[in-house]
Structure 1
Amino acid sequence: MKERLLYIFLLCTSVITYGQVNLSLEPDKYEYNGRDIVNLTVTLELNGGEYEQQTAFQLPDLSKFTIIGSGSVTNTLVDPETNTVIIQKITRLALEPKKKGKIKIGSVLVTVSDKRYKTEPFDIFVKDIERKTLASDDVYLNMEIEDKEVYKDQPTIAVLRVYSKNIDNFRKVKNIHLPKQDNIIVHPVNFIKSDIDPSGYGNMASQILAVFMVFPNEAGYIEVPSVSASVNTFSHKNKILSNKVKLSVKKLPDNAPVGFKNAVGNFSVNVYNASQEKIEVKKPIHIVVKVSGEGNLTDLHLPKIQLSPDYEVFAPKITSKVMPGKAGIKGEILANYVIIPNKAGDILIRTENFAFFNPAAKEYTDLGEQTLSLNAMSHDQVLEAQSTVEKVNEYTNSFLETVNSPVLKTTSFKIKQKDKFNWNTLFINLGILLGLFFIYLIFKSWQKKRITIKENVSQKPVLGSVAETENEIRKNLKTDVRDYFAYLETLKEKEDFGQFFKTVEELDLEIRNQHSKGSADDFRQYIEGLKGLTLAEEYRKISQKIQIEKYSPIKSKEGISELLKDIVYLYSQISK
C-alpha cells in the first residue's frame, strides 16, 4: 500500500514539473553608484503547450527612473526526453536612476491561461557618485541637466560646473566649447561665471562656467556629448572634458495639423504693412510677417507669403529680437518682404498655414493662414487722392531735389507729409525759393557779363567739326563724379542712409542731364547705343537694387558698402 502511494505522489510531481509557469524579475545587482545603469530582466517560462500568455508584461511604477533602453526575445524549444514544449520570453530594461538612496521596484504582472501571476517586489540601493580623491591642482568639469525627458525640439537647460580643491584653478579654465552633434542644436544662454561655492562635493569648491540650451531634433535616446575646456598655466596647457548626459526624447503626437513643421512652444503670427506711403501699382511696399512667442523660435520654419498673380514677392530679410527664456528662446522673428502690386484694386496677401505643438498643454495649436488686405491704386488715382497741401509739398520737394548739390544740401529743407498743414514751414520754403531765384538771376547776369568781356578781348577761331565742338562743350560742363563718390563715402561712414540715397539720385540726375537724357529709360537706351548692352543692363540692375535698398526698413553698413562699390564702378564707366 505504501509503495502505491509513493508511486502516485511521484507521478503527480512529474506532471506538475512538466506543466508549469515561471515568472521572475531580477536586477543585475542590488547596489549601484550614481552613474550606473540598472539592468532589469523579466523572464516568463511556460512549460507545456497548453499554456497561453493572454496579456503583455505589466511593468511596475518606474517613475523614479529614466528608461534609456529596452528589448525582448522569445525562445521556443522541445525537451527531447519528455517531449514537452518550453516557451521562454525575456524582456530587458536599461534604467537610469533619478534619485539616490533606497528605491523599491514593484511586481511585474502577467495573465496566463486565465490565471494571474506576479513577481515579488525588491529594493535596490543607489549610492552617491564616487569621486576620486583629487590633488590640489586637479580640475574637472561636470554637465548637469535636470530635465532629461523632453519632446522633440523642446529645449532643456544644461549647466556646466567646474570643480577643484584649489580655487586659483578657476581663473585658468578658458576656451569653453559647447557640444556639437547632428541630432541636437545648442544655444548658449550665458558664459557669466557665478560666485564660487566652497561647499562642493568632497571638500571641493565649484563654480558655474556656462548655461546653455539643448534642443534635440530627433526622437529616441540621445547622448549629449562632452563639453571641453582648457586649463592654461605658464608651463603647459591641458584639455579637460565633462561627462556625457543621456536624454529621453519623446516623439511628438501623430495627429499633427497640415501647417505643422517643427515649431514647439507657444507662438503667435502677425502680418502687417510696414510702408507709410500710399500703395501704388508697380511700386515696392514692405510687408512684415512677425512670429513671436517662446520655444525653438530661432530654429523653426517661418510661414512664407504665398505666391499670387496679383503681386510679385521677393526673398525676405530676416531679423530677430530674442533672448533666453524659461521654456526656450523668447522674443520675435521678423521676415521683411518686398512686394510689388501688379494690379489696382483690392489685393489679398496670404501666408502659409502655421501650427505648433505646445509641450505644456501636450497638444497642437493650428493658427491657419494669416491674411492682409491691401488697396493698390494707379498713379493717376494716387495723384487724385492727394490733398492740396500734399501737392504743394511734393512740388516743393521735387524742386529742392532738382537744384540740390553736394555743396548746398537743400534737401534738408524738404517737407515731410503730415496731416496738419505747417504754415511756418511753407513760408520758410517759399523764402528759400525766392532767395534761390534771386541768386540765379545774379549768377546769370554775372555769367553774361563774363561772356561779353571774353568776346571783346579775343575771338576764338572755330576749329574742327560740329561733333568735336559738342564733345568739347560737354567736357567743359562735365561734373567730376569723384566728388560725389567721396561725399557718398562720408555719408556711409556716418550711417546717414537717407542723405546717402538722396545724393545717389542727384548723381544720377546730374549724369543724365550731361547727356541730355531726361528719363532713366532714355538714358539706358543711350548707354546701350554708346557703351554697349552689358553696361546698359548693369545700369538697370543697379537702379533696381538702389530702389530696393532705399525702401528697405532695415539697412546695414555692410550692405550700403557693397552698393557703393557697384555705384562707383557703374558711373565711372559711364563717365569715361
Structure 2
Amino acid sequence: MQHKLIYILLTLASVITYGQVNLSLDADKAEYAGKDIVNLTIVLELNGSDLVQQTGFQLPDLSKFNIIGSGSVTNTVIDPATNTLITQKISRIALEPKKKGKIKIGSVLVTVNNKIYKTEPFDVNVKEFVEKKSLAGNTSNDVYLNMEIEDREVYQDQPTIAVLKVYSRNMDNLRKVKNIHLPQQDNINVHPINFNRSEIDPTNSGNMASQILAMFMVFPNEAGYVEVPGVSASVNSHSSKNKIVSNKIKLNVKKLPEGAPDCFKNAVGNFNVSVYNATKEKPEAKKPMNVVVKVSGEGNLPDMELPKIAASPDYEIFAPKITSKVSPGTTGMKGVILASYVIIPKKSGAISIKTEQFAFFNPENKEYIDLGQETLALNAFSHEQVLEARSTVEKVNEYTNNLLETVNTPVLKTTSFKVKEKSKFHWNILLTNIVILLGLFIAYLLFKTWQKKRTLVRETAPSKKSLGSVAETEREIKELLKTDINDYFSYLENLKDNGEYEKFFETLEELDEEVRGQYFQGSVSEFKTFLENHKGSSLAEDYGKLQQKIQIEKYSPVKSVEALEELLKTIVNLYSQISK
C-alpha cells in the first residue's frame, strides 16, 4: 500500500512539472539617475513540448520612456532527467526616462495554449540628475547648470518646455550667474518664456542649493532624434569671468501622421485666418489699397509659413509688411500675426481677393484641419465714378487744395492753408470753443484786478519783518536749498521703465549730490559720518549699504528690471527719511 502511494505522488509531480509556464519581468536595478538607462529583461520559460506561444510579448505603456533599443534570443534544451522539452525566450529593452520620480512599469502579457499569462507591475525610481560641468579650480564653490525637459517625445513643430536651473553649494554664487544664452541650432526654434529667477531652494540633490534661472520653449522642426544643445552662461566674480554650459538633452520627435492636405506646410497648433480691407477710402481702380491677412491662434505661430494672398489678373500684389504680437501660452506661442499687403486693382467692378488654402495639424486631437481659402469681395470704382460720388463741398475742397499745392507765393507758403475734408461741420465744437475762450478772457480780467489790489496793499502796509536770529537764518537758507526729491523719484521711475539705465544711474548720482548739499556735506564718507551723528547709526548703515548696492547694479553686465525696481524702492524709502 505504501509503494502505491509513493507511485501516485511521483505521477502527480511529473504531471505538474509537465506543461509548466513561467513569465517574469525584471529591471536591472530599482533606482536610477536622470541619465541612466533602464534595462528591462523579459523571460518566458515553457516546460513541455505541447506548449505553444500564440502571441508575442504585449508590452505595457512605456510612454514615459524613450525606447533606445531592444533584442531577443530563444533557447531550446531537453532535460535529461525528465526527458522534458524546455523552451526559453529572453527579451531585453533599453529605456531612457523622460521624467524624474517614481515611474510605474505595468505588466507584460503573453498567450500560451489559449491562456493569458502576465507579470506583476513594479516601480522604478529616477532621481534628479545634475551634470557637473564645474568651474575649473574651484572645488568648494562649484556652480553647475542643468537643463530639464520633462516631455521629451513630441511631434515635429510641437513645443516642449525646458527649465534651466543653477546649482551650487555656496548660495552666494547663484546671483553671480549672468549672460544666459539659449541654444541655437538649425533643427530647433527656441523662444523664451521668462528669465524670472525663482526663490532659492536651499536643500536639493547633493546638498546643493538650486534656483530656476529661465524657462523657454523648444520647437523641433525635423523628425527623429534631435539633440538640444546646452545653455551657456557666465559666472562673474571680482577677479575673473568664467563660462559654464548645461547638459544636452535628446528629444524623440515623432513624424506628423500621414494624410496631410496638399496645402499643409508646417503649421502645428490651433489657428484662425481672416482677411480684411484696412483702407478707409472707397476702392478705386489703379489706386493702391491696404489688405491685411490676420492669423491668430496658438502653436508654432512665429515660425510657421503664413498663408499668402493668391495671385490674380484682377489686381497687382506687393510684398507684405509683417507685424506680430506674440507671447508664450500653454501649448505654444499665442497671439496675432498681421501680413499687410499693398494691392492695386487693375480694373473697375467686382474683385475677389483670395488667400492661399491653409491647413494645420492639431496635436491635441491628432488630426489635420483644412481651413480652405478666405475671400474678400470688393467693388472697385473707376476714377470718374469716384468724382461723381463726391459732394459739392468735397469738389470745392479738392480744387482749393490743388490750387494751393501748385501755386505758391514768395511771401506766404500757401500749402499750409490746404483744406482738410470733413463730412460735416460740427457746430457743437465751435460753440464749446467760444465758451472756453470767453471763460479764459474773464479769468484773465479777474486775475489782473486781483494783482492790482495786492500791489496797493503791499505799498501801504508797513514792513514789520524782523531780521531773526542766526539759527533762524540758517534754517531759512536750508529750506531754500532743499530740493523736492519727489521729482527725482518720478524721473528715475520713467528712466527705469524706458530702459535708459545709464541715464538712471547718472540721475541717481545727481540726487545723492543734491541731498548731501542740503546738509553741506561734500563726500559720501563725510555724509555717512554726519548721518551717524545726527540721524542715528542705523540710517547711516543703511545709507552705506545702499551705496554699495548701487555700485553693484551699476556695473552689472545684465540689468534686471526686478533688481532695479527693488533698488528704486530702497532709494525712495531711504532718501525720504534723510530729507525729513
TM-score normalized with structure 1 length: 0.62
The 8 Å contact of residues 149 and 249 in structure 1, kept in 2 or not, is answered as yes
- 1:505-516 aligned at under 5 Å gives the runs none
For 1:68, the equivalent position in structure 2 comes to 66
For the residue of structure 1 that corresponds to 2:189, the secondary structure is strand
The 8 Å contact of residues 265 and 296 in structure 1, kept in 2 or not, is answered as yes
- Determine the C-alpha separation between the residues in 2 that align with 1:25 and 1:165: 40
- Determine the C-alpha separation between the residues in 2 that align with 1:403 and 1:424: 34
- Determine the C-alpha separation between the residues in 2 that align with 1:406 and 1:226: 69
The 8 Å contact of residues 141 and 242 in structure 1, kept in 2 or not, is answered as yes
The 8 Å contact of residues 389 and 421 in structure 1, kept in 2 or not, is answered as no
Say if 2:268 is the partner of 1:264: yes
Give ranges in structure 1 of 5+ residues lacking alignment: 426-576
User: Which of the residues 355, 362, 385 maps onto 2:389?
Assistant: 385
For 1:566, the equivalent position in structure 2 comes to none
Identical amino acids, percent of aligned pairs: 67
Say if 2:235 is the partner of 1:227: no
Shift of 1:247: 3.5
For 1:482, the equivalent position in structure 2 comes to none
Shift of 1:423: 9.7
Give the residue type in structure 1 aligned to 2:66. I
- Determine the C-alpha separation between the residues in 2 that align with 1:338 and 1:325: 32
Shift of 1:310: 1.1
Shift of 1:298: 0.5
For 1:400, the equivalent position in structure 2 comes to 404
Relative to structure 1, the CA distance from residue 405 to residue 127 in structure 2 (aligned partners, 3 Å threshold; closer, same or farther) is: farther
The 8 Å contact of residues 38 and 97 in structure 1, kept in 2 or not, is answered as no
For 1:57, the equivalent position in structure 2 comes to 57
Shift of 1:304: 0.9
For 1:92, the equivalent position in structure 2 comes to 93
- Determine the C-alpha separation between the residues in 2 that align with 1:210 and 1:162: 10
For 2:32, the equivalent position in structure 1 comes to 32
Shift of 1:340: 1.6
Shift of 1:21: 5.9
Relative to structure 1, the CA distance from residue 221 to residue 28 in structure 2 (aligned partners, 3 Å threshold; closer, same or farther) is: farther
Shift of 1:84: 8.2
Give the aligned length: 420
Say if 2:219 is the partner of 1:215: yes
Give the residue type in structure 2 aligned to 1:96. P
For the residue of structure 1 that corresponds to 2:377, the secondary structure is strand
The 8 Å contact of residues 160 and 208 in structure 1, kept in 2 or not, is answered as yes
For the residue of structure 1 that corresponds to 2:192, the secondary structure is strand
The 8 Å contact of residues 131 and 202 in structure 1, kept in 2 or not, is answered as no
User: Which of the residues 338, 344, 350 maps onto 1:340?
Assistant: 344
User: Which of the residues 155, 175, 183 maps onto 2:187?
Assistant: 183
Relative to structure 1, the CA distance from residue 408 to residue 325 in structure 2 (aligned partners, 3 Å threshold; closer, same or farther) is: farther
Residues 446-505 of structure 1: CA distance to partner in whole angstroms, max 9, x if unpaired? xxxxxxxxxxxxxxxxxxxxxxxxxxxxxxxxxxxxxxxxxxxxxxxxxxxxxxxxxxxx
For 2:167, the equivalent position in structure 1 comes to 163
- 1:10-409 aligned at under 5 Å gives the runs 23-44=23-44, 53-62=53-62, 66-73=64-71, 88=89, 90-96=91-97, 98-101=99-102, 104-127=104-127, 129=129, 135-404=139-408, 409=413
For 2:577, the equivalent position in structure 1 comes to none
Shift of 1:153: 1.8
The 8 Å contact of residues 309 and 355 in structure 2, kept in 1 or not, is answered as yes
For 1:461, the equivalent position in structure 2 comes to none
- Determine the C-alpha separation between the residues in 2 that align with 1:408 and 1:200: 79
Moved more, 160-169 or 267-276: 160-169
Give the residue type in structure 1 aligned to 2:213. L
Relative to structure 1, the CA distance from residue 84 to residue 398 in structure 2 (aligned partners, 3 Å threshold; closer, same or farther) is: farther
The 8 Å contact of residues 37 and 97 in structure 1, kept in 2 or not, is answered as no
- Determine the C-alpha separation between the residues in 2 that align with 1:73 and 1:196: 45
- Determine the C-alpha separation between the residues in 1 that align with 2:219 and 2:412: 57
- Determine the C-alpha separation between the residues in 2 that align with 1:316 and 1:364: 27
- Determine the C-alpha separation between the residues in 1 that align with 2:335 and 2:410: 42
For the residue of structure 1 that corresponds to 2:292, the secondary structure is strand
Shift of 1:344: 1.3
Give ranges in structure 2 of 5+ residues lacking alignment: 430-580
For the residue of structure 2 that corresponds to 1:382, the secondary structure is helix
Relative to structure 1, the CA distance from residue 409 to residue 47 in structure 2 (aligned partners, 3 Å threshold; closer, same or farther) is: farther
For 2:484, the equivalent position in structure 1 comes to none
Residues 505-560 of structure 1: CA distance to partner in whole angstroms, max 9, x if unpaired? xxxxxxxxxxxxxxxxxxxxxxxxxxxxxxxxxxxxxxxxxxxxxxxxxxxxxxxx
- Determine the C-alpha separation between the residues in 2 that align with 1:290 and 1:109: 52
The 8 Å contact of residues 37 and 94 in structure 2, kept in 1 or not, is answered as no
- Determine the C-alpha separation between the residues in 2 that align with 1:24 and 1:87: 12
Give the residue type in structure 2 aligned to 1:59. L
Provide the aligned C-alpha RMSD in A. Answer: 4.1
- Determine the C-alpha separation between the residues in 1 that align with 2:273 and 2:144: 45
Residues 379-438 of structure 1: CA distance to partner in whole angstroms, max 9, x if unpaired? 22222222222211211111122135999554343333332257999xxxxxxxxxxxxx
- Determine the C-alpha separation between the residues in 1 that align with 2:17 and 2:410: 109
Shift of 1:43: 4.2
- Determine the C-alpha separation between the residues in 1 that align with 2:45 and 2:232: 49
Give the residue type in structure 1 aligned to 2:93. R
- Determine the C-alpha separation between the residues in 1 that align with 2:130 and 2:330: 32
- Determine the C-alpha separation between the residues in 2 that align with 1:280 and 1:97: 60
For 2:418, the equivalent position in structure 1 comes to 414
For the residue of structure 2 that corresponds to 1:356, the secondary structure is strand
Shift of 1:188: 1.9
Relative to structure 1, the CA distance from residue 121 to residue 298 in structure 2 (aligned partners, 3 Å threshold; closer, same or farther) is: closer
For the residue of structure 2 that corresponds to 1:326, the secondary structure is coil
